[in-house]
């Protein structure tokens, strides 16, 4: 690991002609750190900033308005406030978040102008990028190029892929609390957007051995940058690759001592279809 980022940056430039090289880079990172960043992915800084502006506008709404769509685990849609308790910490993450799927209920244009159209468009771009990565990983695993994407069809009514807007509230002397406790992602592949200066994400890449929830293991900060997309392998893809691709632990911290400003992040969780059975190459 070197430089300011503990994970490799992979460029998607000229994807069609560089697919073999990109595949090699992606699979190497996915087999070790379980994390990489994507650059030249086609979403502009303006588009990313606009999506974050909508997220800030949404979270600035009064609790009564956000509570109009409460988080529902059956629909994967809605707002939660300091409610997610991680197994690793047993305490609630110090954050609020809004979960959305394509067929979700959305804030109205009066509540947050253009929220729905802009966010749907942004989700569509995340889907296109995810498709490229999943095509490469399918090939690397010895499957046909469309193997992983077949389980992902976002138009299918049983698709569970979702976007999550996250807001970590400003805090002071946060020792003993977590913005997001140690965890691996349960889905297939996560795309995460951060903004310059809003650090706090820490990852635990390439552990040779691990203990429960990676407590006591070494975590490395992954500096926040507007532009590069942080991508990580989730538990599903680890299973579907017979453990070859690694779902690694990560967490988000505020400063133990002193003030931490608000932090916003946007995660796109490729989760796949509920009614499709997937197996790894060894058909275990
Ligand atoms: O907000 C972040 O940077 C990470 C969020 C995360 O890991 C998650 O929601 O699964
Ligand atoms: Fe995560």
Instruction: Write the pLDDT tens digit of every residue in 97-124.
Output: 999 998 899 999 999 999 999 999 999 9
Report whether residue 224 contacts ligand 1, using a CB cutoff of 6 Å. no
Atom 3 of ligand 1 has which residue's CA nearest to it?
201
Report whether residue 185 contacts ligand 1, using a CB cutoff of 6 Å. yes
Q: How far is the CA of 267 from the centre of ligand 1 (A)?
A: 7
CA gap 227, 48 in Å, rounded = 7
Q: How far is the CA of 16 from the centre of ligand 1 (A)?
A: 30
Give all domains of the chain, ordered by start, each with its CATH number: 9-270 (2.60.120.330)
User: What pLDDT was estimated at residue 2?
Assistant: 40
Does the pTM of the predicted model rise above 0.90?
Answer: yes
Report whether residue 265 contacts ligand 1, using a CB cutoff of 6 Å. yes
CB atoms closer than 10 angstroms to residue 16: 7
Strand order, beta sheet including 180-183: 180-183, 250-252, 201-203, 220-221
The segments of the chain whose pLDDT lies below 70 read: 1-4, 207-210
User: What pLDDT was estimated at residue 37?
Assistant: 98
**ipTM for the assembly:** 0.99
The DSSP result for 102-156, as a single string, is TT-----TTTSTTHHHHHHHHHHHHHHHHHHHHHHHHHHTTS-TTHHHHTT-TTS
Tell me which ligand sits closest to the C-alpha of residue 95.
Answer: 1
Report whether residue 119 contacts ligand 1, using a CB cutoff of 6 Å. no
The two tokens of residue 73 are: 């685990």
């Amino acid at each position: 690991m070197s430089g300011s980022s503990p994970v490799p940056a992979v460029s998607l430039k000229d994807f069609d002609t560089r697919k073999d090289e990109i595949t090699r880079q992606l699979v190497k990172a996915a087999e070790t750190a379980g994390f990489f960043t994507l650059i030249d992915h086609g979403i502009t800084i303006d588009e990313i900033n606009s999506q974050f502006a909508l997220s800030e506008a949404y979270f600035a709404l009064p609790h009564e308005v956000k509570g109009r769509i409460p988080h529902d685990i059956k629909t994967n849609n809605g707002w939660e406030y300091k409610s997610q308790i991680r197994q690793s910490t047993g305490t609630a993450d110090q954050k609020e978040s809004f979960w959305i799927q394509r067929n979700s209920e959305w804030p109205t244009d009066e509540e947050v102008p253009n929220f729905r159209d802009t966010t749907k468009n942004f989700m569509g771009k995340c889907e296109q990028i995810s498709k490229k990565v999943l095509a490469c990983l399918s090939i690397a695993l010895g499957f046909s190029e469309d193997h992983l994407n077949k389980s992902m069809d976002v138009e299918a009514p049983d698709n569970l892929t979702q976007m999550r807007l996250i807001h970590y509230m400003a805090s002071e002397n946060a020792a003993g609390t977590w913005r997001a406790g140690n965890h691996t992602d349960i889905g297939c592949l996560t795309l995460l957007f951060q903004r310059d200066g809003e650090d706090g994400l820490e990852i635990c890449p390439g552990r040779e051995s691990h203990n429960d929830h990676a407590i006591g293991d070494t975590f490395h900060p992954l500096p926040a940058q507007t532009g590069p997309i942080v991508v990580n392998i989730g538990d599903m893809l680890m299973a579907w690759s017979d453990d070859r691709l690694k779902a690694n632990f990560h967490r988000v911290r505020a400063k133990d001592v002193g003030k931490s400003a608000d932090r916003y992040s946007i995660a796109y969780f490729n989760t796949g279809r509920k009614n499709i059975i997937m197996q790894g190459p060894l058909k275990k």
